[in-house]
Structure 1
């Protein structure tokens, strides 16, 4: 099976590479980490619609799995095989350590209006992060939130002690590992493609994702409890290969930026009420599913445990990370 997967993936990559060499410059390829009908897919479709309505260019979309795992699509974007890629800082944390700031628990606001305005106006996001991404051969176009992250487990979670020794799947992100260590769990980095089976067989007993993703991937089928502790909002980043972007005409750069802006505003509106709707749909699909949204009082022990994660972030990233974190806090204060 491993050899078969290698052959298939290699064949797809070879085909895309062939297209990259043969196609005209007006065919742009864009890969993302979710399905077409999920949040990143909706953003990508709006981006494609805007580009094609305002230029002669074509945008080809590649949903999750068509070109491999997240690490594969990032490599392809850096190599110029892909012109655009959408990937969470959760997967780019090793590449751009400062991007792990999005995983400092309880840093991002719960209020949607504050959160959206932060992503629109943040100096850290719109001025500081583009420089860090550029160092990795990437042009940062947009960052946007995808929804409150909730945990799914086999047993109820009311306190950090309830996560003791629970093998909890996390993305390959050092700070996310630190977060779940702080919460008392045993963090287990695992590619997304392996998570459903690992939950089903008991290799892991927990994982986290926004509500819409828990619904669309049917993660509720292999878990018994959803717990929302308000610790994070899943963030993603849309990037272009920098050499490709720098080589565009001013007119084409404007097309790309305008499409990014239009898709950003569209996706914020699309997500309004999406979390609540998804959790309701899960409850209907599985009536015996426990869905617990912890109160502020119940969240406090998790907040207390999470204080050490901010210190770990600064240790991992040094002065650069501290500067990003300080600007983050100033930007958040400005939108309150």
Structure 2
């Protein structure tokens, strides 16, 4: 077992023992006077998932006797660790991007087909609110893995950072670009001309600093809060996708609750979703301004329509790979996804 995994599991065990004392998860979930539920996410204090988690907590605690304990990135390990802890019932709730869930739920990789989602903010929120694929088809896929899907929401446009400005697939050649551990995302960056390099988040800053990798992709708020622009100062807006995340519960825990608590949780997730979809518009511009105020070395490249076209041409290749990975079910999901997008964006 890798040292990182051992240390993360030790940290998880220690923190959870501190949080629950001697009581078992089952005891905590059913106490009449109110339970202490545990929720882990992948980001830092003040980032989008943290804002969502605190709005969820706010609703739960204002409308019940339950309390919610939030664990941020690193406190219980990395993304794979908190998902495992949720499936085991150690955590009641988890927030994880399909970028990591893709190995567990291959169909979730649909969000990494480049240029499938529109770049414009005004369309994204409506899509997530109205999409049949997201609101009706995805819950069934997550349920197969023992997870109750409570919300999917966008966090921000994906932005690439690199050791030099990039305007074409030729500029990506020879560059190791860090990606999440996601097979379809690997296919995307190979199609873009780069060498996809999966790395856990905790290793990214150092790998950029030492030139083990020459770039990475993330929404702009994460580039700002993680200080990635300090070691990868060239920001490239390719318009190829949005960072999406999902908030879910351990299904055994959820189904063991009385109907009023299940409704409480659903209402809390809706409350947090409505808040975050008002919070997201303009966030990228605000975070970019902070980055530019902090560093004179940062460059910003926004691809023109003509420059985007070679990257867009690779989308069919990635779509075909998605269908190869997911079969008929993935094909039907993709068809519904496109129909949902057309209903929002039009031709």
* TM-score, scaled to structure 2: 0.93
2:39 aligns to what SS in structure 1? Answer: strand
1:24 corresponds in structure 2 to: 28
Aligned pair 1:159/2:168, yes or no?
yes
| Separation of aligned partners in 1, 2:281 and 2:314 | 30
Contact 2:86–2:92 (Cα < 8 Å) also in 1? yes
Deviations 1:60-108 (A, max 9, x none): 0000100001111000000110000000000010100000001000011
| Separation of aligned partners in 1, 2:12 and 2:249 | 21
Please say which of residues 293-302 and 251-260 is displaced more in the overlay: 293-302
Contact 1:227–1:294 (Cα < 8 Å) also in 2? yes
Aligned pair 1:56/2:65, yes or no?
yes
Aligned pair 1:84/2:88, yes or no?
no
| Separation of aligned partners in 1, 2:4 and 2:121 | 45
Choose which of 39, 48, 72 in structure 2 pairs with 1:39.
48
1:10 corresponds in structure 2 to: 10
| Separation of aligned partners in 2, 1:292 and 1:161 | 16
Deviations 1:294-319 (A, max 9, x none): 12222111101232101110011110
Choose which of 234, 252, 260 in structure 2 pairs with 1:243.
252
Contact 2:41–2:95 (Cα < 8 Å) also in 1? yes
2:32 corresponds in structure 1 to: none
| Separation of aligned partners in 2, 1:78 and 1:292 | 41
| Separation of aligned partners in 2, 1:15 and 1:153 | 36
CA gap of 1:72–1:7, structure 2 versus 1, over 3 A, is: closer
Deviations 1:272-306 (A, max 9, x none): 21101111111111122111111222211110123
Choose which of 235, 252, 256 in structure 1 pairs with 2:261.
252
Unaligned stretches of 5+ residues in structure 2: 30-34
| Separation of aligned partners in 2, 1:328 and 1:253 | 28
1:232 corresponds in structure 2 to: 241
Count of equivalent residues: 335
Contact 1:17–1:81 (Cα < 8 Å) also in 2? no
1:72 aligns to what SS in structure 2? Answer: helix
| Separation of aligned partners in 2, 1:248 and 1:296 | 51
Query: How far is 1:9 from its partner?
Result: 4.1
Unaligned stretches of 5+ residues in structure 1: none
* TM-score, scaled to structure 1: 0.96
| Separation of aligned partners in 2, 1:271 and 1:329 | 23
1:150 corresponds in structure 2 to: 159
